[in-house]
Structure 1
Amino acid sequence: MDRFPDFECPVKSGYNLTFSCNGQGLILKGQREITCQSNGEWSSPFPKCEVSEKCGPPPDVNDADTIEITKKEYNTGERVEYSCFIKYTLDLRPSFSRYLTCVQGEWRGNIRCLKPCTVTVEEMERRGLEFAYVNLQNMFVPHDDHITFMCKRGKVLGGVPLRPQCNDGVMTLPACV
Structure 2
Amino acid sequence: MCEELLGCEPPPALDHGDIKYTIKSQYNHNEMVEYMCQLYHTMEGEPNRICINGEWTGHMRCLKPCILNEDDTRQHNITLKLSDKKFFLHDEIMEFECAHGVPVGDLAMRLRCNSGVVLLPTCQ
Greater share of strand residues, 1 or 2? Answer: 2
In the TM superposition, what is the alpha-carbon distance from 1:109 to its structure 2 partner? 1.3
Pairing of 1:64-75 with structure 2 (within 5 A): 64-75=17-28
Counterpart in the other structure of 1:168: 115
Q: Rg bigger for which structure? A: 1
Counterpart in the other structure of 1:44: none
Counterpart in the other structure of 1:128: 77
Greater relative CO (CA pairs within 8 A, separation 6+): 2
Counterpart check, 1:100 vs 2:46: no
Structure 2 CA distance for aligned equivalents of residues 135 and 100 of structure 1: 37
Counterpart in the other structure of 1:156: 102
Structure 1 CA distance for aligned equivalents of residues 55 and 84 of structure 2: 49
Counterpart in the other structure of 1:145: 92
Deviating beyond 4 angstroms after TM superposition, the runs of 4 or more aligned structure 1 residues are none
**Aligned residues, how many?**
123
RMSD: 1.4
What TM-score, normalized to structure 2? 0.90
Pairing of 1:1-177 with structure 2 (within 5 A): 1=1, 49-92=2-45, 97-135=46-84, 139-153=86-100, 155-158=101-104, 159-177=106-124
Alignment deviations for residues 108-131 of structure 1 (CA, whole Å, 9 cap, x no partner): 211111111111111111111112
Structure 2 CA distance for aligned equivalents of residues 108 and 131 of structure 1: 41
Structure 2 CA distance for aligned equivalents of residues 88 and 61 of structure 1: 12
| Unpaired runs of at least 5, structure 1 | 2-48
| Unpaired runs of at least 5, structure 2 | none
Alignment deviations for residues 41-68 of structure 1 (CA, whole Å, 9 cap, x no partner): xxxxxxxx22221112222111111111
What TM-score, normalized to structure 1? 0.65
